[in-house]
């Protein structure tokens, strides 16, 4: 099949590379010319395991990159994969979706045959039917039955997006007519996974409900973890026993400093804003958010309990990315920790294997180090914020500290003298 993918962010780029791997002819449209150029040279601005290998295999063969919409009409179907960052009042900002629909619609004006548009960007229920479909029909000046529409949410974890694309738990296809649904489903031929066909609105909601539920599991594990800590119980031992119940499952029960990233916090806010607009009370969702906001600050309470007032103390923060294997710091739990340490007048020295440059763009007035060992030298205490595997090797490096006070916000260290947030 000939597929055009609109948006070269992590979802669009990974989807385009994986669709090429599935044997399709793919054109990726990324309107930022610099970004488009670096992708076409096989140097994406994001790091995803396995992505560069796919790019070098397919670029110039089955995968092409462009910053203009000129060849859309030559494709059979288009995926919309543009970003929907948090906008006013917590709802997604749809400006990129609107502009993609405008450009896509215009480029379909002269196409005489059927075209399928598949919405992959995360949007609130009702958006595809209320905004995407009317905008594309308007700008293409075509009738509803000449263009088909589907909503096909993504469940890609950053850092593991290629693996998640090729081996999904399920493929959700929301559609209002069987022809569009069949065509969208056939794109994934070759991938072994159950396909769930729903209405468009349900597919949109499945994405939010999934992320909200995963975030809920984490905040639940953290709330229980805090209780465990007060009772001197190891929360990981407890959740191991809990997760073995197949009705619960062991995933996303890791207590720690809370969840970050570009998805969970934003999607929770959007769902809360949606509920409020419907006069519903999102009691659980708000609590999930509240637990997550308080969780990183508990690390500082633990720290103060150990070393007293933080003013003038040298604190090493290990881990800046919102999780390991990424340089993404969006909503990273290390941000509120650093902000609070600054407010308390601590002297902060930070290290991350990949995310130092990203954090430098946000926070300039702290010291950054090239290695964990450098950050630890002379520190009064250390806080571990990200589960980077290299941190599990640390031990003697902690002896360089003025005092071996180690507070762990993620369960990753294996040495002695650790105070875990929930263990």
Active site residues: 263
Least distance to ligand UGA, CB of residue 218, Å: 4
CA atoms within 13 A on the CB side of 162: 17
Least distance to ligand UGA, CB of residue 1, Å: 24
- Shorter beta-carbon distance to ligand UGA: residue 132 or 218: 218
State both tokens at 270: 């959007």
Estimate to the nearest angstrom the gap between the alpha carbon of 294 and the chain centroid. 21
- Shorter beta-carbon distance to ligand UGA: residue 210 or 403: 210
- Shorter beta-carbon distance to ligand UGA: residue 125 or 256: 256
Distances (CA, A) of 355 to 76, 91, 185, 271, 359: 39, 28, 37, 29, 6
Bridge-based pairing state of the strands 406-408 and 418-420? parallel
Least distance to ligand UGA, CB of residue 330, Å: 9
Least distance to ligand UGA, CB of residue 9, Å: 10
Least distance to ligand UGA, CB of residue 156, Å: 5
What 3-state DSSP class applies to 133? helix
Q: Which of 172, 120, 187, 113 is nearest to 148 (CA)?
A: 113
Estimate to the nearest angstrom the gap between the alpha carbon of 315 and the chain centroid. 28
The total of other beta-carbon atoms located within 10 Å of residue 241's CB is 10
State both tokens at 45: 């601005």
Binding site for ligand UGA (CB under 6 A): 154-158, 211, 214, 218, 252-254, 256, 259-261, 263-264, 322-323
- Shorter beta-carbon distance to ligand UGA: residue 161 or 183: 161
- Shorter beta-carbon distance to ligand UGA: residue 29 or 263: 263
Least distance to ligand UGA, CB of residue 213, Å: 10
Distances (CA, A) of 122 to 28, 205, 208: 19, 9, 8
CA atoms within 13 A on the CB side of 231: 10
Q: Which residue has the tokens 């096989």?
A: 42
- Shorter beta-carbon distance to ligand UGA: residue 12 or 282: 12
Least distance to ligand UGA, CB of residue 23, Å: 24
The total of other beta-carbon atoms located within 10 Å of residue 250's CB is 14
Q: Phi/psi at 239 (nearest 5 deg)?
A: -70, -25
State both tokens at 225: 């973890």
Q: What is the DSSP string of 147-169?
A: EEEEE----PPTTSHHHHHHS-S
- Shorter beta-carbon distance to ligand UGA: residue 108 or 359: 359
Exposure of 199 by Cβ count < 10 A (0-12 exposed, 13-18 middle, 19+ buried)?
middle
Contact predicate 268/289, CB 8 Å: yes
- In the sheet with 406-408, reading across from the earlier edge strand, the strands are 367-368, 347-351, 314-318, 381-384, 406-408, 418-420
């Amino acid at each position: 099949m000939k597929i055009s993918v609109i948006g070269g962010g992590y979802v669009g780029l990974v989807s385009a590379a994986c669709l090429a791997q599935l044997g399709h002819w793919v054109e990726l449209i990324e309107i930022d010319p610099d970004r488009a150029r670096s992708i076409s040279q096989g140097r994406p601005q994001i790091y995803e395991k396995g992505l560069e290998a796919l790019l070098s295999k397919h670029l110039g063969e089955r995968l092409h990159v462009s910053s203009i919409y000129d060849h859309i009409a030559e494709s059979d179907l288009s995926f919309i994969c543009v970003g929907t960052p948090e906008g006013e009042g917590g709802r997604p900002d749809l400006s990129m979706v609107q502009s993609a629909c405008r450009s896509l619609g215009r480029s379909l004006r002269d196409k005489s045959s059927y075209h399928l548009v598949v919405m992959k960007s995360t949007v609130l229920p009702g958006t595809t039917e209320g905004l995407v479909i009317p905008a594309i029909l308007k700008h293409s000046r075509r009738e509803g039955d000449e263009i088909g529409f589907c909503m096909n949410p993504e469940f890609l974890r950053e850092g593991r997006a290629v693996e998640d694309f090729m081996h999904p738990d399920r493929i959700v296809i929301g559609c209002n007519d069987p022809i569009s649904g069949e065509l969208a489903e056939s794109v994934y031929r070759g991938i072994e996974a159950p396909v769930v066909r729903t209405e468009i609105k349900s597919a949109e909601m499945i994405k939010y409900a999934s992320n909200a539920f995963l975030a809920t599991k984490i905040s639940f594990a953290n709330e229980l973890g805090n209780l465990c800590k007060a009772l001197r119980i190891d929360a990981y031992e407890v959740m191991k026993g809990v997760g073995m119940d197949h009705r619960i499952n062991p995933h996303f029960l890791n207590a720690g400093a809370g969840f970050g990233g570009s998805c969970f916090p934003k999607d929770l806010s959007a769902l809360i804003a949606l509920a409020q607009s419907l006069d519903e009370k999102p009691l659980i969702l708000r609590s999930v958010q509240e637990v997550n906001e308080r969780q990183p600050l508990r690390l500082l309470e633990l720290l103060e309990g150990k070393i007293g007032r933080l003013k003038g103390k040298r604190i090493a923060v290990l881990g800046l990315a919102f999780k390991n294997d990424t340089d993404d710091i969006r909503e990273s739990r290390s941000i509120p920790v650093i902000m609070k340490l600054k407010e308390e007048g601590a002297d902060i020295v930070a290290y991350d294997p990949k995310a130092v440059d990203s954090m430098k763009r946000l926070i300039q007035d702290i010291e950054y180090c090239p290695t964990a060992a450098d950050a630890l030298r002379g520190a009064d205490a250390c806080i571990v914020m990200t589960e980077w595997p290299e941190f599990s090797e640390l031990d003697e490096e902690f002896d360089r500290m003025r005092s071996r006070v180690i507070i762990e916000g993620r369960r990753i260290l294996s040495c002695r003298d650790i105070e875990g947030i929930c263990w």
